[in-house]
């Protein structure tokens, strides 16, 4: 079964079989893994921030997800470094194939985006996550990290007006 969900005027397709109906999905703690990163604004240099080894990278901390009956739900999640904790709002997804989306409830302070390759480059960031149930223990989806304010001289030159990094994610129940 092929499902599609629009993300910021992009079409992202996921081949996933849903064994669990969204209404029955139970919340809990999940390991989150970044499977791929696509830098859409500074020529690929930000991909190494999210995938430092070039291979799938788990978040340092598990992410607690709500059950369907618990949404809307506001919660603090520990996002991948260098972003740290973010308050997010989990809502029912806008598209039929989306289970839910998590949107920034409160943006984090400016972060130093790449202290190794661009020390002193601080940016503002927000994150939108889109998730689909794969089965009762797994979800698949993506996060779009929106970056702004590349003001410092140390920052890489943006190749587009919008600076987004797309992360392909997988959640596995612990």
pLDDT single digits (tens) 97-143: 455 666 665 666 788 888 888 888 888 888 888 888 888 899 999 99
Range of the domain at 120: 2-6+38-173
Question: According to the model, what pLDDT value does residue 5 have?
Answer: 25
Burial class (CB in 10 A: 0-12, 13-18, 19+), 52: exposed
Number of domains in the chain: 1
The answer to whether the CB of 120 falls within 8 A of the CB of 144 is no
21 vs 12 pLDDT, higher one: 21
Question: According to the model, what pLDDT value does residue 2 have?
Answer: 27
| Domain membership flag for residue 146 | yes
| Domain membership flag for residue 55 | yes
| Domain membership flag for residue 19 | no
Question: According to the model, what pLDDT value does residue 104 have?
Answer: 62
| Domain membership flag for residue 17 | no
| Domain membership flag for residue 31 | no
Q: Tally Cβ neighbours within 10 Å of residue 90.
A: 24
pLDDT single digits (tens) 31-68: 999 999 999 888 788 888 888 898 999 998 999 999 88
| Domain membership flag for residue 161 | yes
Question: According to the model, what pLDDT value does residue 56 have?
Answer: 94
| Domain membership flag for residue 33 | no
| Domain membership flag for residue 27 | no
> Does pTM surpass 0.85?
no
């Amino acid at each position: 079964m092929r499902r599609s969900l629009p993300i910021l005027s992009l079409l992202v397709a996921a081949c996933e079989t849903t064994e669990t109906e969204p209404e029955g999905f139970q919340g809990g703690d999940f390991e989150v893994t970044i499977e791929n990163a696509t830098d859409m604004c500074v020529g690929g240099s930000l991909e190494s921030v999210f995938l430092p080894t070039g291979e799938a990278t788990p978040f340092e901390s598990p992410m607690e997800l709500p059950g369907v009956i618990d949404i809307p739900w506001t919660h603090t999640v520990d996002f991948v470094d260098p972003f740290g904790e973010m308050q997010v709002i989990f809502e029912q997804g806008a598209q039929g194939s989306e289970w839910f989306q998590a949107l920034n409830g409160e943006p984090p302070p400016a972060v130093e985006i790449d202290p190794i390759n661009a020390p002193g480059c601080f940016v503002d960031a927000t994150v939108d996550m889109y998730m689909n149930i794969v089965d009762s223990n797994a979800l698949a989806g993506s996060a779009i990290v929106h970056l702004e304010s590349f003001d410092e001289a140390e920052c890489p030159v943006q190749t587009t007006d919008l600076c987004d990094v797309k992360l392909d994610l997988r959640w596995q129940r612990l």
